[in-house]
Amino acid sequence: MADKNAKQEAKKIEIDPKKKATKTEVGTANIHDIWILERIDNVAANEVFTNKEAPFLEVNTKTKRLMGTTGCYEYYSNLKLDGHKISLSEFVSMEKACNQELSIEKEFLNQLKQIDSFSVAPLKLIFSTKEKNILEFKKVD
């Protein structure tokens, strides 16, 4: 098992946040899965989400829904996919009882609302705007 994890770690892809992923870099993996935030604006999630778990999301292509939690917010949205274009509609977030600083969680939700495309690499999901890659997730299940 350790060899498998080491091989997966060795295959990590470095992503330039200013470079948009091209279709040849995207691959054909499905985004229908559960993902945990790994980077936000090219900063490691564990550096900005201190003392709590990073946000996760579930993309369900069958029900055309995106849902997840930031820890203090639960959120969901309708999802439309067209090739590698993505749009969210009827985005709803609900604050749970929480005694933590919420600014980074609000920033994550704001960035999620701005995405317009995605790319998939081995065990990675990258959401982008027209300008740059903004959110990078790692497959968790």
Predicted pLDDT at 53:
82
**Domain 28-139 is found in CATH 2.40.128.270:** yes
pLDDT tens by residue, 6-40: 333 333 334 444 444 444 333 334 899 999 999 99
Predicted pLDDT at 74:
95
Going by their DSSP bridges, the two strands 56-60 and 43-44 should be labelled as unpaired
Name the β-bridge partners of 138: 36, 124
Q: Distance of alpha carbon 86 from its chain centroid, rounded?
A: 12
Please state, in angstroms and as integers, the Cα–Cα distance from residue 93 to each residue in 2, 36, 66, 70, 135, following that order. 38, 17, 12, 10, 18
Query: Cβ(100)–Cβ(72) under 8 Å?
Result: yes
Q: What distance in Å separates the CA atoms of residue 3 and residue 70, rounded to the nearest whole number?
A: 32
Q: What distance in Å separates the CA atoms of residue 24 and residue 119, rounded to the nearest whole number?
A: 10
Q: What distance in Å separates the CA atoms of residue 27 and residue 122, rounded to the nearest whole number?
A: 8
Predicted pLDDT at 99:
74
Q: What residue ranges of the chain have pLDDT lower than 70?
A: 1-29, 51
User: Which residues, 6+ apart, have CB-to-CB distance to 140 below 8 Å?
Assistant: 34, 35, 36, 56
